[in-house]
Amino acid sequence: MVLYRLPESVRLEWARVGEEKESDLEGLLQFLFMEIQRRERSRTFQTQVRDREERKPRATAAALHSASDKRNDGPSCGVCCGKHRTERCFGLKDLEPVARKNKCLEKGLCFICFEKHLSKHCVNKTKCVVCGELHHRLLCTKDQGVLGSSRGTGVGNKEQNQPNLRENENVDPGSNTQVFSARVRKGNDVKQTVLQMVRVKVKGQKQEVQANVPFDRGSDRSYISSSLVKKIGPTPAGQEFVSVALFGDAKSNEPKLRKRHKIQVLCQDESY
């Protein structure tokens, strides 16, 4: 009568271990005691596993959406928090190299990649193209520029295609240099932008010619057109990898190996 009141799983287990002991009541009670202990241990283990699973963070659609938003935010400037890379920030490029370093220290930026960490922890080991030391080119105090100011002066016999997106500064009225300038205005009737420009004489190994110099303060290099290079034959000054992009672009072009040249530009006092 006792066996019929037990669950079927228990009866099957008793039939397996209690063979030829069907009439042994003491053996049945001992078996039931051991079975109860086994089931209690099993229930405790299942509770611990369930608690650990509940403590695990569960992935949600909101978390996926948040991660996607972070990837799509694009670059963020470490200096002004604008939507551009730090090395393209006018607030940084308009400073002298020493002041740029101080600004990076103030903002906690790496001297190599301008990210928020120390330079000694940076995985980027790209060295400066000017001095060969481990820092970004914008922080190099030995950079005196290939063709004059590192603030960006294009030299060529026709205007550069890159627009100047900053308001041009006033020119000293006592200067004899003629400078043409225009302010960018947003509207459907404006289709062209005129850069500040000056007419100068440029001298190379072959000859001396007149050339237009448009001023683009958004550039950190001075450029010379290939046609002018052929005309004047400037002195070679090595090569370097240069990546060119418009201000505010999400990413720049692939770096390409460019030639560097030394040229002579005639000053107002007729000296080179």
Mean pLDDT of 74-91: 86
Q: Which amino acid is at 155?
A: V
Q: Is residue 272 part of a domain?
A: yes
Whether 149 and 271 share a structural domain? yes
| Token couple for 110 | 């790496």
Percent of the chain with pLDDT over 70: 57
Whether 252 and 227 share a structural domain? yes
Q: What is the pTM of this model?
A: 0.33
Q: Is residue 108 part of a domain?
A: yes
**What is the tens place of the pLDDT at every residue in 137-183?**
888 887 544 333 334 444 444 333 343 333 333 334 444 444 444 44
Whether 123 and 159 share a structural domain? no
What per-residue confidence (pLDDT) applies to 109? 92
Mean pLDDT of 247-271: 73
Q: Is residue 17 part of a domain?
A: no
Report d(CA 101, CA 165) in Å as an integer.
25
Q: Is residue 36 part of a domain?
A: no
Report d(CA 142, CA 132) in Å as an integer.
10
Mean pLDDT of 59-73: 53
- Reference 202, options 251, 256, 262; nearest CA is 262
pLDDT at 3 over 70: no
What per-residue confidence (pLDDT) applies to 110? 92
The DSSP annotation for 5-58 comes to GS-HHHHHHHHHH-TT-TT-HHHHHHHHHHHHHHHHHHHHHHHHHHHHHHHSPP
Whether 92 and 203 share a structural domain? no
Confidence of residue 185 (pLDDT cuts 50, 70, 90): very low
**What is the tens place of the pLDDT at every residue in 97-151?**
889 989 999 989 999 999 989 888 898 888 888 888 899 888 888 754 433 333 4
Q: Is residue 11 part of a domain?
A: no
| Token couple for 114 | 């301008």
Whether 124 and 162 share a structural domain? no
Q: Is residue 134 part of a domain?
A: yes
What per-residue confidence (pLDDT) applies to 206? 87
Mean pLDDT of 53-74: 55
Assign 68 to helix, strand or coil: helix
- Among the candidates 142, 169, 198, a domain finishes at 142
What per-residue confidence (pLDDT) applies to 221? 75
- Among the candidates 123, 142, 161, a domain finishes at 142
Assign 137 to helix, strand or coil: helix
**What is the tens place of the pLDDT at every residue in 17-28?**
666 666 667 777
Q: What is the domain extent for residue 152? A: 144-272
Whether 130 and 163 share a structural domain? no
